[in-house]
Structure 1
Amino acid sequence: MRMKYLLLSACLSLALAPAALAQTVTGSGIVPATAANSAERAIGFAANAPAGAALVVVMTDAVLPPLDGVALSAAERQAVGAAIASASFDGKAGSTLSLRGIGAHPRILLVGAGATPSSLALAEVGGKAAQELKDEAQPVTIAGAFGDTSAADVAYGFALGQYRFDRYKTVDKKAPPTGAVTFVGADPSGAEAAFTGRWKPLAEGVRLSRDLANEPANVIYPESFVAETRKAFARVAGVSIEVLDEAAMRKLGMGTLVGVGQGSPRGSRLLLVRYRGADSPDAPTAFVGKGITFDSGGLSLKPGAGMGNMKGDMSGAASVMGAIVSLAKSRAPVHVVGVAALAENMPDGNAQRPGDVTRTMSGKTIEMVNADAEGRLVLADANEYVAKTYKPKAIVNIATLTGAVVGALDNSYAGLFARDEALAARLIAAGAASGEELWRLPLHKDYAERMKSDIADIRNSATGQGPGASLGAHFIGFFVDEGTPWAHLDIAGVNRSEKATSLVPKGMTGFGVRLLDQLARSE
């Protein structure tokens, strides 16, 4: 019987896909969801630098490295050395020195990596260079203090740092740089293989997450999210895609996911993408993301200020899909299932009312007392479905769940909640290695009392003040069997950035792609 639902859902998704690719942005224009983003610099590797390019030099101290393959005369090197001394440039991580008018190079940019740079530190250098050169059109050469294949690390950072989302601008739009960036070193073929095999797919996964979350909600909604995901996985080996529409979910008793979206004319979806690499374990790890494509708060309506940013309330689901893209395109020897619980939370006459009782797939009941605590509702059904259908060895949820986590951690960390110590330790290590850091917050037994309902098994929000992030995490964990290793990542403070950093341009960050990719590879 289940296969019947899957075939029906898949056919429905394919039938709706063309309509999902375009939505009216204004009364007089149609903008496709796949509109070309601004061009990015092509990334290449060579033993010798092309002529006439800006030069970026990766520095580990105050001494200009040899720069084999780069045309820099003794007099030009002397001029650079004098500038270094004059500016007291020391090559510390994050430091820069920009020089113009030296030789044939339109610009020479020195970027510090620190004395013994890690892979992540080298990526930061690449991202810093991309940010510094984002408004300059000429080709770029990057060379300096990296050996073996570590140029691939710098290239990866450059790919992340050059991201931009301005596809809907038509007035005063800055032309994107078109000149290619070439990494010059002693082993260009090795560096290119390392970049293509590992880092380029990861950058593509981050880009997918950022694109999905940056798109307006009239372009990305449950159906079109599915359509864009299908396109991202076209012709990728080892991947299978399952989609449940509302009819299928209702027949399976998934009342919470469907209930959240019943105030919107755009139906909810449950999207599951499974990737199984060679020699991977039989049981997958499940990454389950909140995919609220727009969150008005439902009948518990949010304030108007900042509501437009709620187009990014599906960042968890977007980053899950980005992580699976990375793992699948790099042919990682892992077995993972990425789940997107997709709904639009709107306040029309058919919307859920505070006080309603809904039922999950397993039959557990929820008193829905706050329609703006909807992310945990869609994750309840998604967790139960993936547990029953795919029998994962661990479940990791990722969601823009609470404002409380922002109050606790600001935008420096995502909140980590876990019942399994080994899984928690792996997540913290993956966060440190990827640059997407976590801070563990408590799951205390007393929180169960705060979430008790007089008329149902649990309520979706506690009354009064309290540890909101922990209470939300407790609710989600209620729908995961105690015997299954489980963790929850609350990314509400880190999914969006108000200012650019080296690896994260302003806007939706794609937080979680790098972290989940690293976690999957850490087994």
Structure 2
Amino acid sequence: MFGIRLVDAAQAGTQVVVADESAVLAGGDDEIAELHRGSDERGRAGAVLVLPRPLRTPAKVVIVGVGAGDEAGWRSAGAAAVRAVPAGEPLHVVLPAGVSPTAVRGLAEGLWLAAYRFREAVDGARSAGVTLQTDSPDTYAESLETARVTAAATWLARDLTNMPPSVKNPAWFADQLVAEAASRPGLEVTVREPDRLRAEGFGGLLAVGGGSASPPRLLEIAWRPEGATRHVVLVGKGITFDTGGISIKPREGMKLMKKDMGGAAAVVAATLGAADLGLPVRITALAPLAENAISGSAYRPGDVITQWDGTTTETTNSDAEGRLVLADVLAYAVAKLHPDVVIDLATLTGANAVALGKRTAALYSRDDSLAADLEAAGQAAGERMWRLPLPAEYTDYLRSDIADRHSSPSQGAGSVVAALFLSEFLGDRVDHWAHLDMSAPAWSDANDADLTKGATGWGTRTLLRYLSEN
């Protein structure tokens, strides 16, 4: 990541001037104020006006809009500014007097997030730094550091998700996080390999990963700060590639299935970020990792699987694999870790995208307070979600004639029924649990505000906000 510095004196390079949607810039440079006055979309969040100034200093001025001036508007302005300036040019942002620390956090997040490039790419990365000019640098130092940690965690989640499946198998993913955690005091990492998974009864994870030459893993990362009084368990679906198994996906449905571990990427990245921020909450991140492949050892539609809690599942569709691995881990988390709250993130269903489109995740919870806290965290972080119901009568759809439940009933309401399936494994924590179905927003088809084309790292920012503020 490039650096962003707070300074109290002007620096050379392209100058960025901030404007809101209603005010006309006044004072200072009349030329800049006149350009802004004549704009048709003056101050709209993310709007950009460029003023070349040959043979003068600064040689170019970029006016960016912050809209109504909330954090989201400042985040859009940061994203727009970093895209308006070539990667090699220094960027100098003049902060208005009295701007809030929250606004500066949004600006810095936008600058960093929009500048992201996947680490395998050969060009386009910003190497030149950014300076923020203000008359009170100390006021914003904490906000800038929080933005840096949040952006770095999101970059990590994006890197993990963007990595090609030719590299990214369960062992590789686990190894990356072992290395990342090693540099952070206070983190403990456990990696369960197939023999231990078998001995401890993780039947769903073993079944889903059984068809691949790359065996499954269960990654557990624990952050236990001294004095913590609350324990949050984060669970993320970690299917490193999903063919659909014997219920094979069509080509169009399979080509982006390297992103099917986006939930795991978000929960582990958020946990590392929480450690970097020193958050005073105990966190355990659990990432069940498997490749859902096709072979003679792949599990079949019609198989009956024994889950970690001893109950059985009839696997009516091998492309409904995510819920099988999550079920094992949710049951384990409740029985062994005794959390106060459980939150799972999963690229679980295409039905989520049908209902809510590309930018919104589905939120399920019976806990009104937890749901409200997550919605507020997502709103502040710029990651939208919408709460959907968990109707008790739909639970009947899960019943099987030969096992305790079906994995994938055919009655419809796919995202809702998948959430109800997971709820069966929460025991006495079912009323302190939230499920985020985030398949669609885990990927962006184009650069869009603070998102870059490819993996979005969706959920990382929301989780860090939630953990910081609750």
Distance 1:65 1:489 in 2: 46
Residue 469 of structure 1, CA deviation: 0.4
Distance 1:120 1:332 in 2: 23
Residues 47, 77 of structure 2: 8 Å contact kept: no
Superposition pairs of residues 486-497 of structure 1, within 5 angstroms: 486-497=433-444
Matched residue SS, 1:280: coil
Distance 2:110 2:458 in 1: 15
| Residue of structure 1 aligned with 2:166, choices 205, 218, 239 | 218
Matched residue SS, 1:366: strand
Superposition pairs of residues 418-497 of structure 1, within 5 angstroms: 418-463=365-410, 465-484=411-430, 485-497=432-444
Residues 202, 325 of structure 1: 8 Å contact kept: no
- The worse-fitting range, judged by mean Cα deviation, of 352-361 and 97-106 is 97-106
- Counterpart of 2:104 in structure 1 is 151
Distance 1:216 1:207 in 2: 16
- Counterpart of 1:194 in structure 2 is 143
- Counterpart of 1:297 in structure 2 is 244
Distance 1:404 1:148 in 2: 40
| Residue of structure 1 aligned with 2:210, choices 262, 286, 290 | 262
Q: Against the structure 1 CA distance between its residues 309 and 88, is the aligned structure 2 distance closer, same or farther, given a 3 Å change threshold?
A: closer
Distance 2:345 2:461 in 1: 13
- The worse-fitting range, judged by mean Cα deviation, of 325-334 and 184-193 is 184-193
Confirm whether residue 43 of structure 1 aligns to residue 32 of structure 2.
no
Confirm whether residue 64 of structure 1 aligns to residue 25 of structure 2.
yes
Residues 90, 128 of structure 2: 8 Å contact kept: yes
- What code does the residue aligned with 1:348 have? S
- What code does the residue aligned with 1:126 have? G
Q: Against the structure 1 CA distance between its residues 330 and 345, is the aligned structure 2 distance closer, same or farther, given a 3 Å change threshold?
A: same
Q: Against the structure 1 CA distance between its residues 353 and 175, is the aligned structure 2 distance closer, same or farther, given a 3 Å change threshold?
A: closer
Q: Against the structure 1 CA distance between its residues 429 and 224, is the aligned structure 2 distance closer, same or farther, given a 3 Å change threshold?
A: same
Structure 1 outlier segments of 4+, above 4 Å: none
Post-superposition Cα deviations, 1:440-478, rounded to whole Å, max 9, x if no partner, equal 112111212111110000110112x41000011111111
Distance 2:394 2:312 in 1: 18
Residue 306 of structure 1, CA deviation: 4.0
Residue 165 of structure 1, CA deviation: 1.6
Residue 382 of structure 1, CA deviation: 0.8
Residues 293, 312 of structure 1: 8 Å contact kept: yes
Distance 2:41 2:291 in 1: 51
Distance 1:264 1:209 in 2: 24
Q: Against the structure 1 CA distance between its residues 479 and 129, is the aligned structure 2 distance closer, same or farther, given a 3 Å change threshold?
A: same
Residues 116, 125 of structure 2: 8 Å contact kept: no
Matched residue SS, 1:233: helix
Distance 2:236 2:26 in 1: 45
Residues 44, 192 of structure 1: 8 Å contact kept: no
Residue 483 of structure 1, CA deviation: 4.1
Confirm whether residue 94 of structure 1 aligns to residue 54 of structure 2.
no
Residues 15, 92 of structure 2: 8 Å contact kept: yes
Post-superposition Cα deviations, 1:377-405, rounded to whole Å, max 9, x if no partner, equal 00011111122221111111110100111
- Counterpart of 1:180 in structure 2 is 129
Matched residue SS, 2:391: coil
Distance 1:148 1:418 in 2: 33
| Residue of structure 2 aligned with 1:160, choices 113, 117, 122 | 113
Residue 89 of structure 1, CA deviation: 5.2
- What code does the residue aligned with 2:425 have? F
Distance 2:369 2:105 in 1: 31
Distance 1:481 1:234 in 2: 33
- Counterpart of 1:333 in structure 2 is 280
- What code does the residue aligned with 1:48 have? A
Distance 1:127 1:435 in 2: 13
Residue 49 of structure 1, CA deviation: 2.4
Matched residue SS, 1:450: helix
Residues 263, 347 of structure 1: 8 Å contact kept: yes
Distance 1:236 1:86 in 2: 51
- What code does the residue aligned with 2:150 have? L
Matched residue SS, 2:206: helix
- What code does the residue aligned with 1:179 have? A
- The worse-fitting range, judged by mean Cα deviation, of 230-239 and 408-417 is 230-239
Residue 183 of structure 1, CA deviation: 0.9
Distance 1:297 1:212 in 2: 21
Q: Against the structure 1 CA distance between its residues 457 and 335, is the aligned structure 2 distance closer, same or farther, given a 3 Å change threshold?
A: same
Q: Scaled by the length of structure 1, what TM-score is found?
A: 0.85
Distance 1:293 1:108 in 2: 44
Residues 155, 183 of structure 1: 8 Å contact kept: no
- Counterpart of 1:509 in structure 2 is 456
The sequence identity of aligned pairs, in percent, is: 35
Residue 229 of structure 1, CA deviation: 1.0
Post-superposition Cα deviations, 1:277-317, rounded to whole Å, max 9, x if no partner, equal 34321x41111000000000011100012412000000000
| Residue of structure 1 aligned with 2:232, choices 264, 285, 288 | 285
Residue 177 of structure 1, CA deviation: 3.5
Q: Against the structure 1 CA distance between its residues 85 and 261, is the aligned structure 2 distance closer, same or farther, given a 3 Å change threshold?
A: same
Distance 1:439 1:382 in 2: 25
Count matched residues.
Answer: 465
Post-superposition Cα deviations, 1:165-219, rounded to whole Å, max 9, x if no partner, equal 26255xxxx45333211111112244234312x2211111101100000000111
- The worse-fitting range, judged by mean Cα deviation, of 183-192 and 255-264 is 183-192
Residues 341, 429 of structure 2: 8 Å contact kept: no
Q: Against the structure 1 CA distance between its residues 278 and 338, is the aligned structure 2 distance closer, same or farther, given a 3 Å change threshold?
A: same
Distance 1:378 1:65 in 2: 59
Residue 508 of structure 1, CA deviation: 0.6
- What code does the residue aligned with 2:81 have? A
Q: Scaled by the length of structure 2, what TM-score is found?
A: 0.95
Matched residue SS, 1:87: coil
- Counterpart of 1:36 in structure 2 is none
Residues 278, 333 of structure 1: 8 Å contact kept: yes
Matched residue SS, 1:373: coil
RMSD: 1.8
Distance 2:336 2:172 in 1: 24
Confirm whether residue 307 of structure 1 aligns to residue 254 of structure 2.
yes
Q: Which runs of 5+ in 2 are unaligned?
A: none
- The worse-fitting range, judged by mean Cα deviation, of 175-184 and 218-227 is 175-184
Residues 59, 65 of structure 1: 8 Å contact kept: no
Residue 153 of structure 1, CA deviation: 3.3
| Residue of structure 1 aligned with 2:180, choices 214, 218, 232 | 232
Distance 1:407 1:50 in 2: 49
| Residue of structure 1 aligned with 2:154, choices 186, 203, 206 | 206
Residue 136 of structure 1, CA deviation: 4.1
